[in-house]
Each structure stands twice: as structure tokens, then as C-alpha cells.
A and B are shown apart, each in its own frame.
Chain A
Amino acid sequence: MSHQYQAIGWNRQKRVYDLVVLAGVMLYIALFIGLGALLFPYATAETLIIRAAGSAAFLLLHVVLCIGPLCRLDSRFLPLLYNRRHLGVVTFLLGAVHGIFAIIQFHSLGDKNPLVSLLTSNQNFGSLPDFPFQQLGFLALVILFLMAATSHDFWLRNLTPPIWKTLHMLVYVAYALLIGHVTLGLLQSETSPVLVLATGGGLVTVLSLHLAAGSRERVVDLEKLTSVGKGFVDAGSVESIPEKCAAVVSVSGERVAIFKFDGKISAISNVCRHQNGPLGEGKIIDGCVTCPWHGYQYLPETGASPPPFTEKVSTFHTQIVNGRVWIDPKPNPPGTRVEPSRIPDAGVRV
């Protein structure tokens, strides 16, 4: 949780995550350059660096893009999501190394400014095999730079979550540009079927995971709840909610997380104020609803973060009737205290 500005709020999990990422990237680059030098002795050091950094960035972007839908489909992947932003920054840095070395190697020896040369030397937009693929890579790198530069919570707060999210959804544009960059660049000169299969396999994996996760989310959004009297809607049985966990229902177009804890039921918005994380997939830890993404916490009765933190989410009135939870679809202003509904003893009707 962010109380005051910190460059990075380091903790053990973040350190371990970053060390694993760093070690993995270093190992990949060392293996790529080492094996490349052995198998292709005519390749220059610059070429090996360009290809090692570029392929590492492309591979890492696939990992970054798969983490989100994997977490929606299986909560065991949640630890990968915790520090995904650092993974994104590493992807940009590798892409920048690839881009800088490529510009030096291919565009710095003429009399034109290297960037001008990059953007103007090939204008063959009408031909697929001769398409100016380097410009696609450059545009993708600009997008990745914008995302890496604004990845800190400071920018999330200042740009506001909707603008920040929209900006970071540009990653899909960057991915499309990079598929074009690789297909119309590397795969035009390197005809190895392994490269074609690897690129195609990565594309199919990213697309299928996102489509599968999206279709699953849509089912939850379209679920209709029964409504009777005073507008309360039936949100399911008390028994179906595990202790200190939540059931998530969709009411009035938004999701509500209904938590069961210590013989009580409370309902709050399912959307974490930090990065729109799904609070209903978190647990109650130390009396607080804890977001599964980055650990932001809220009191279930008020929807407010415990002091000194200031985040607040909406609360909802609940009732328990005949062992079922009924919920008022009208949200209370964020931070409004709502007394939790007490779960009556088994067999007693309220």
C-alpha cells in the first residue's frame, strides 16, 4: 500500500522476483551469445547482441501478456502478477538494447541522422516481403518506453486509474507491432521452421489465453440475479462462501465481493483502488480484505483502508434470509460504514 512516495517499496518477495528475472535474462543472453558464437562463427558480436536482446524482449513480452489471463484462469499463477511491472520494465530495457545496437549497426554509418535514416530509408509500404519492419519495432519501443516510464504508482495516482489503464492497454498495440516486426523482418530472411513455429506458437498461446479468460469473465458479467422487494437481490447461499473468502456477483453492471468472516457477512466493491485488482479473489487477513494482486487492504465493514492509508471502496447493504445472502444493488459512497449481517445459527430463520 502506498502511504508516501517511494522509488520502489522493496520487500522480500519483490527482491526474490527481481533476482529470478535478472538471473533468467542473464542466463538466456549468455547462452544465446555463447551458442551463437559457437554455431555461427561468422556472426559479429553486434549481431549476436541485437538478436539475443531482441529475442529475450519478445519472449518476455509473451510472458508478461500471459500472466494476466493465467491468473484469471488459475489463482496459482498470482505470485507472477505481483511484480509484473518490473517484468515490463525489463522487457523495455532489452528492447532498447536491441534497438540501440540495431540503429548503430544499420543506420549510423551514413550521412543521415540515424533516426531519420531508420524512419525514411525504407518506404516500401506496399510490399509484405520488403515492408519497413524496423519502423514497426521503433513504434513498439516508443510504446514500451511510455509504459515503463509511467509504471510507478506515482503515475497511477496522478494520471488516475482509468487513464493509466488505457495507456497501459497500448501494450496490445505494441504486441501487434512486434508480431509485424518479427514476421516481416527476421522471418523474411531466416527461413528456419523452428523460428516460424516458435513465433506462431507464442501468438496462438497469447491469443487463446486472453480469449479463454475473457469468455470466462463474460459469463460472470452476464449472470442475472433474482430481485424481490426493496430492490435486494439474491446473491447465493451463505454456505457457498468459504470462511474469510468471498463470493463475487455482478449487480447493476459492476461486481460485488461478498465476504464471510467470524460469523458475519459484508459486501464491498470487487475493484481494488490500486490497479482494479479483484478483491473478491483475495482473503481476509488480519481482519482486512486483502487484494490478491498487490496486498492493498480494506476493512470489510467500511471499505476503507486501515490508517494511515486512505484508499476507499464502495460498500453494500446485505441481509441474510433463509440461509441466503441478499444484497442491495445500490452502492454506498466509498468508505461508508455498513454493519455486517450476522449469520444466524443453523436452522434459525431471520
Chain B
Amino acid sequence: MIQPLRKTHRRIFLALALLLPALFLSGIAFRHSWPAPARSQKSAAHRLPSGTTP
């Protein structure tokens, strides 16, 4: 009664062990590369108190 369940469970996890890492890695690899907000050196320097280093 329970051995088929164990076999099903093993098969499910073998499939998930192949499928989920592939999904996860593809999701990370193909994600949008969001452009970093443009920031000129001048404006950055303007926001820092004088005498501090960024």
C-alpha cells in the first residue's frame, strides 16, 4: 500500500531536482538588467558634505 507512494514520491523529487534548479537558474540568468539611475559626479558631489569621501 505504501511502497507505491514512496516510489511516486521518489520520482516526483527526481523530476523536481531537474526542473526547479533549471527554472530558478534560467529565471535569474534571463532577468531584466535594470539601468542604474543616472547620476553625474557633479550632483553626487553636491549632495555630500564638504570634506567627506564617498
Give the B-binding residues of A (Cβ under 8 A): 128-129, 162, 165, 169, 172, 175-176, 179-180, 183-184, 187-189, 191, 196, 199-200, 203-204, 207, 210-211, 214, 217-218, 221, 253-255, 270-271, 276
Contacts and interface: CB of A to CB of B under 8 A. Distances in A.
A42 to B, nearest CB: 14
Contacts of B34: 189, 191
Given A191-B31, A196-B28, A207 B23 contact: no
A347 to B, nearest CB: 39
The interface size bin for chain B is: 20 to 34
Contacts, number: 80
A220 to B, nearest CB: 10
Nearest to B13: A210
Contact of A254 (B2, B8, B12, B31): B2
Chain A interface main SS type:
helix
Given A196-B28, A207-B21, 16 more contacts: A128-B30, A169-B8, A176-B16, A183-B23, A183-B28, A188-B31, A189-B34, A191-B31, A203-B24, A207-B13, A214-B6, A214-B10, A218-B6, A271-B2, A276-B2, A276-B5
B39 interface: no
Given A214-B9, A221-B3, A207 B17 contact: yes
A218 B10 contact: yes
A211 B24 contact: no
Contacts of A214: 6, 9-10, 13
11 contacts: A129-B32, A169-B9, A188-B27, A188-B31, A203-B20, A207-B13, A207-B17, A207-B21, A218-B6, A270-B2, A271-B2
A98 B52 CA distance: 43
Nearest to A214: B10
Contacts of A253: 3
A271 B27 CA distance: 41
Interface of B: 1-3, 5-6, 8-10, 12-14, 16-17, 19-21, 23-24, 26-28, 30-32, 34
A165 B16 contact: no
Contacts of A180: 23, 27
A330 to B, nearest CB: 15
A183 B13 contact: no
A210 B34 CA distance: 36
A221 B3 CA distance: 8
Nearest to B29: A128
A183 B21 CA distance: 11
A129 B1 CA distance: 43
A189 B32 CA distance: 8
A21 to B, nearest CB: 25
Nearest to A269: B1
A254 B7 CA distance: 12
Contacts of A183: 23-24, 27-28
A223 to B, nearest CB: 13
Q: Specify which of A128, A187, A204, A271 lies most central, judged by the most chain B CB atoms within 10 Å of its CB.
A: A128
A210 B5 CA distance: 14
Contacts of B30: 128-129
Contacts of B9: 169, 210, 214
Give 3 nearest A-B pairs by CB, closest first.
A183-B27, A214-B10, A210-B13
